[in-house]
Amino acid sequence: MSAPTSDGDGTRCVRAGLPEPTPGQPFLPGPVFAATYHLDPWQGPAATPNGYGRPDNPTRRLLEAAIGELEGGDVRAFASGQAAVTGLLLALLRPGDTVLLPADGYYPMRAFATDTLAGIGVRVLFAPTAGPYPSFDGVRLVLLETPANPGLDVADIAALARDAHAAGALVAVDNTTATPLGQRPLDLGADLVVASGTKALTGHSDLLLGYVATRTPELLDPVTAWRTVTGAVPGAFDAWLAHRSLATLDLRLARQSANAEALARLLAGRPDVTGLRWPGLPDDPAYPVAAAQMRRVPGVLAFDLGDAERVGRFVDAARLVVAATSFGGLHTTADRRAQWGDDTAPGFVRLSCGVEDTADLLADVTAALDA
């Protein structure tokens, strides 16, 4: 029941990965819970796609098909976004290889690179998402994160992919913040996509999920093998919840993005808020690239309230903004990133807009800042 590529985002999300309609069966089959399956006593696992629960699960395969339709590639789902990105790096890099990572990207990924990758002999380089970038000569893999988390700078995927490929490097893009409805990196020349589905993709703040997508079997095979031997697979119920949640992705992103735009314009006019970043604002440094590359801007923005105490007072005074990490959920959340060890200023806030009514959210944020 895959949707034609000419269908709109809402139609594609609703129909992604669903089996053909069968009378008496649900639209989306329920989760299959199995560690072991019946095997053919003569042919063994060769007779069926399901042999053992770690590499094989029909619920997970339906989810992978659904995300694959949205990203435009073949997908392998992981137990979390961190499992996906570390699995990608460890599957493709060897001692002596060089990897270039975003200096302003997801903090745990950078920590993993300096602690683990460097420890096994991988040369780790960093460059800011907005550039400048060093020469790609001798680099095995360039990992971009765009928009970057949490600073929201944007990288020109097509231009960087051309330069990297000319030097013989692979390009992977962390598409967590944008989601495949915001941009499709594989269409822009990237070799791989990696993302956390925990956030806006599934959007209900109730599961952990990650995935890797590619159109190149030679890259997918080692990632699949890595996932199989390490066991970094999502459970059947999480896979089912994620697939169910994809149906509303277009609707959720539309409200979140609209809320972010309205809130960004409100905050831009307040003298007590500094360092505002949202790539959808025309005066944002990332706007020119984002406007050309992205189909929609995510519902995440960043700003500075000066110090940790003021952030605490703001969230405490708010009714609709709650303190929580992660982003992309139905509820508006504020995360002071410095409290997690991220190298941001003490008053830096990453705010994730939920799906509340825009007027209510603006009134609440205004009252909380005034208080």
Render pLDDT for 237-279 as a digit per residue (tens, 0 to 9): 999 999 999 999 999 999 999 999 999 999 999 999 999 999 9
The CATH architecture annotation of domain 250-370 reads Alpha-Beta Complex (3.90)
Is pLDDT above 50 for 1?
no
- The DSSP annotation for 116-160 comes to IIGGGT-EEEEE-TTS-----TT-SEEEEESS-TTT-----HHHH
Band of the pLDDT at 4, cuts 50, 70, 90?
low
Q: Do domains 9-246 and 250-370 have the same CATH topology?
A: no
pLDDT tens-digit series, residues 14-58: 999 999 999 999 999 999 999 999 999 999 888 999 999 999 999
Tokens linked to 350: 């990453």
Is pLDDT above 70 for 301?
yes
Helix (H) or strand (E) holding 165: helix 157-166
Is pLDDT above 70 for 8?
yes
Question: Are 58 and 41 contacting, i.e. CB atoms less than 8 angstroms apart?
Answer: no
- The pTM of this model reads 0.96
Give the C-alpha separation, 112 to 330, whole Å.
Answer: 29
Torsion of CA 262, 156, 182, 174, to 10 degrees: -110
Give the C-alpha separation, 101 to 113, whole Å.
Answer: 9
Strand partners, 173: 144, 193
Say what the pLDDT of residue 5 is. 63
Q: How many CB atoms lie within 10 A of CB 285?
A: 14
Is pLDDT above 60 for 193?
yes
If you average pLDDT over residues 172-197, what whole number do you get?
98
Name, in order, each residue with C-beta under 8 angstroms of 242's C-beta and a sequence gap of 6 or more.
63, 77, 197, 201, 202, 207, 209, 234
Write the CATH number of the domain with boundaries 9-246.
Answer: 3.40.640.10
pLDDT tens-digit series, residues 106-117: 989 999 999 999
Say what the pLDDT of residue 343 is. 87
In which residue are the tokens 């944008």 written?
Answer: 178
Domain segments of the chain as ranges: 9-246, 250-370
Is pLDDT above 60 for 177?
yes
Give the C-alpha separation, 153 to 287, whole Å.
Answer: 9
Give the C-alpha separation, 126 to 368, whole Å.
Answer: 38
